Chain A
Amino acid sequence: MAETTDLSKGLPSHPEKATLEGKNKFLGFWVFLAGETTMFATFFGTYLGLRNGTGSGPEAADIFSLPLVFIMTMILLTSSLTSVFAMFAMKKNQFKKMKIWMWVTVALGTAFLGFEIYEFVEYVHYGLGFTTSAFASSFYALVGLHGAHVLFGLCWISLLLIRYNKSGITLTNAPKFYVASLYWHFIDVVWIFIFTVVYLMGIGG
């Protein structure tokens, strides 16, 4: 379909939704995110139900460290912003700029993931293993699921960037970059809830 669209006047203003295929991907991905939201909601619900079930292991307030979580939050929020810049560049057909912002997003995401692994290793040192208590299991399941999403997003965006390194923005790859950035925002929004429900409530209430 990409070949048949008239591109003589440059890309249309919304290249991600210019073809029927793009429109389908756009809508389908939103529906997919609705399903993801429900899945995360179930994990959140489980965590809220089990967060006081610490058994003989450490409690949330004993181990959580807000400065570290603050840095992680800032990194992830910034990475969401850089992916927005990339999408702005895509709509203006500035391919090089888009690539740079996307790579920055990947770099920030990798930094976030590194901090998360460091965090988990620290908790294990404090005696909070996955099997320590119901609280530990539900914490690692929820935050680990988010971490797995971050990892998948990093692989996906990197693959797209490498695959389309020299192709420029086309009506075929614009929807792909667009839904990848939607996915990245979604990961970011989930983290905001994790920050509130897991860390702030863990320390404050």
Chain B
Amino acid sequence: MVREATNTLQKSVLWDWLTTVDHKKLAVLYLISGTLFFLKAGLMAVFMRIQLMFPMNDFLSGQTFNEFITMHGTIMLFLAATPLLFAFMNYIVPLQIGARDVAFPFVNALGFWLFFFGGILVSLSWFFGGAPDAGWTSYVPLASRDYGGLGIDFYVLGLQVSGIGTLVSGINFIVTIINMRAPGMTMMRMPLFCWTTLVTSILIVFAFTPLAAGLALLMLDRMFDGMFFIPGEGGNVVIWQHIFWIFGHPEVYILVLPAFGMISEIIPTFSKKRLFGYTAMVFATLIIGFLGFMVWMHHMFTVGIGPIANSVFAIATMIIGIPTGIKIFNWLFTMWGGKLTFNTAMLCASSFVPTFVLGGVTGVMLAMAPVDHLYHDTYFVVAHFHYIILGGIVLGLIGATFYWYPKMFGHKLNETLGKIMFWMFYVGFHLTFFVQHILGLIGMPRRVYTYLEGQGMDTMNMISTIGAFVMSAAIILLVINVVYSAMKSPREGGDPWDGRTLEWATPTPVPEYNFAQTPQVRSLDPLFYEKIHGDGTMKPAEPIGDIHMPNGSIYPFTISLGLFFAGFGFIMLNMENAIISPWIVIAVGGIITFGSMALHSVKEDHGYHISKETVEQMEKEVGTNG
């Protein structure tokens, strides 16, 4: 293990992780907490599939089933997929652009802790009379004060807190990518993963703020008797649907674009070719990002907005197929004629392509407004978005885990276990969700906890549940692989895959300052360029010298803790016989949050320097290790 600079060594392990502002450590925190939330929500999915195994099953009650569908969706999107993607964005993007850290290390830590406490707040609902049960979309009036229980309050406040975290992280990534690139790393030389991170972050800024506004309105309605969504007093329930989907549709792209970026990193590396059509890929990403905001109403075709609006949004939705198609063909052409290596990462990346096309085809089918009246709220929709999310985002995430694992943890994951895991996951996934298309077409509604026998649904539901078991076994195998590899896998050097991009130019484990000397970038795929045209190492752009580092801080933790208390206080307003006055809890939370912010603002913290001698010594140790 590389010796860390003295400032870090002086801290206890716990204090170090609570106060860290290092993007690599925060990435590990994101990875662990995201995985835990993923396992939790996955378990709920298995329970729901067990309930649906037989007609008229009574494994779960209808109420519990509703709570599970809500929490499964909410956790998977906000608290599992988002942090897992953020883990890789945090770890890899600064390395890929040749930076020592992100633009705002403090804000980076704040983003993590806000997400974490927001997630805890949502999860606490189980202990206070039941989880939210109005679906992850939380439509009013089902979620209004008259019909929705206390669980909805946890949903509203928890997502509000974690949403702020996502927002500030997005701002941080934008500034990092625009301002912190190494010399020679022009925008059009950035790896595609950085591009997709940039576009995703822009989408976060414009999508999570409407969500924050919408959640605030729902909170005002539920806790302070607002009339936004009460039709009798002039309110309007459709406004919630608009606000939610103005956020909700871009959210899909927020999640899938980084996965596109991961695929675009893995495929060139294991095809030994540069990415086909790099420029077209960049522009396709930008166009998808833009159009992502133009299509929200396709979730509301059956609301009755009118034929003209429906047509416009139907056409806009279909247009997204064009830039996505460009991407699909570019991945295929990257592989075409390449020297292909099919390890686990590449298996995930290449199987992503046909699976995602299937999800895209059903997407265009759903985009046709008149036919959508038949599909709406059936299992066809469930099958469609799971093809996008599991077949797209999760395959991308598993691929990225296998690809970047040696950089993050110093050893590869076992390939044999990995390949078994992949095939189990792949087969289990299609088994689970392919039949759901047909279930939807023959009329099985989504979000309903049971069905009658003799409607031709029994066999397919059984197949779907068996597929879910196979998929869960694959995930368990992945966890086993992580433990097994930690004990058995040999240590790897900095560049185990013969990589092309800058992150593989750093030693493993990555020193806390990333690059002892900022590298000079001469081309797209800078490391590969040096391997062909130079001596295989990056040329420095600056002499070796003292390195300026930010100090750790506990304030990100306390700011988030304060908001957690304040959020819980607001929820207490709707609790019968709360132990202490909710306003005391809100006030304490507010004081902790704003007090920490004020202290952070007042205290001038210029960070510290790692001296030139320490840097040279650390580089020497890395040289002997790697």
Q: Which of A2, A28, A134 contacts B233 (CB 8 A)?
A: A134
Tell me the total A-B contact number using a CB cutoff of 8 A.
121
Choose the segment among B208-216, B406-414, B416-424 that binds chain A (4+ C-beta atoms closer than 8 Å): B208-216
Chain B residue contacts of A32, Cβ below 8 A: 171
- Tell whether B175 is near chain A: CB-to-CB under 8 Å: yes
Contact A31 B175, beta carbon cutoff 8 Å: yes
Contact A1 B210, beta carbon cutoff 8 Å: no
Given contacts A24-B103, A134-B234, A163-B601, contact A38 B209 (CB under 8 A): yes
Contact A138 B228, beta carbon cutoff 8 Å: yes
Interface of B is mostly: helix
Task: State in angstroms the CA–CA spacing of A133 and B233 once bound together.
Answer: 5
- Tell whether B321 is near chain A: CB-to-CB under 8 Å: no
Contact B236 A141, beta carbon cutoff 8 Å: no
Which residues 120-157 of A sit at the B interface, judged by CB distance below 8 A?
130-138, 141, 156
Contact A50 B213, beta carbon cutoff 8 Å: no
- Tell whether A110 is near chain B: CB-to-CB under 8 Å: no
Contact A50 B175, beta carbon cutoff 8 Å: no
Q: Which of A23, A39, A46, A172 contacts B228 (CB 8 A)?
A: A46
Least distance between B604 CB and chain A CB atoms (Å): 6
Given contacts A24-B104, A46-B243, A141-B220, contact A52 B234 (CB under 8 A): yes
Contact A134 B227, beta carbon cutoff 8 Å: yes
Interface of A is mostly: helix
Q: Which of B178, B209, B221 contacts A42 (CB 8 A)?
A: B209
Contact A20 B236, beta carbon cutoff 8 Å: no
Task: State in angstroms the CA–CA spacing of A116 and B560 once bound together.
Answer: 31
Q: Which residue of B lies closest to A56 (CB)?
A: B233
Which residues 141-186 of B sit at the A interface, judged by CB distance below 8 A?
167, 171-172, 174-175, 178-180
Q: Which of B178, B206, B224 contacts A34 (CB 8 A)?
A: B206
How many residues of chain B have a CB within 8 Å of chain A?
44
Task: State in angstroms the CA–CA spacing of A46 and B213 once bound together.
Answer: 10
Listed residue (A3, A20, A34, A42) with the most chain B CB atoms within 10 angstroms of its CB: A42
Band of interface residues on A: 35 or more
Flag A37-50 by CB within 8 Å of B: 1 or 0 each.
01101110110011
Contact A159 B598, beta carbon cutoff 8 Å: yes
Contact B171 A28, beta carbon cutoff 8 Å: yes
Chain A residue contacts of B602, Cβ below 8 A: 159, 163
Which residues 1-44 of A sit at the B interface, judged by CB distance below 8 A?
1-3, 20, 23-24, 27-28, 31-32, 34-36, 38-39, 41-43
Interface residues of A (CB under 8 A from B): 1-3, 20, 23-24, 27-28, 31-32, 34-36, 38-39, 41-43, 45-46, 49-50, 52-55, 130-138, 141, 156, 159-160, 163, 172, 176
> 7 closest Cβ contacts across the A-B interface?
A53-B234, A134-B234, A42-B213, A134-B235, A39-B209, A137-B226, A38-B209
Q: Given A28-B103, A163-B602, 15 more contacts at CB 8 Å?
A: A28-B104, A28-B171, A31-B171, A31-B175, A35-B206, A38-B205, A42-B209, A45-B242, A46-B213, A46-B239, A50-B236, A50-B239, A136-B227, A137-B220, A176-B601
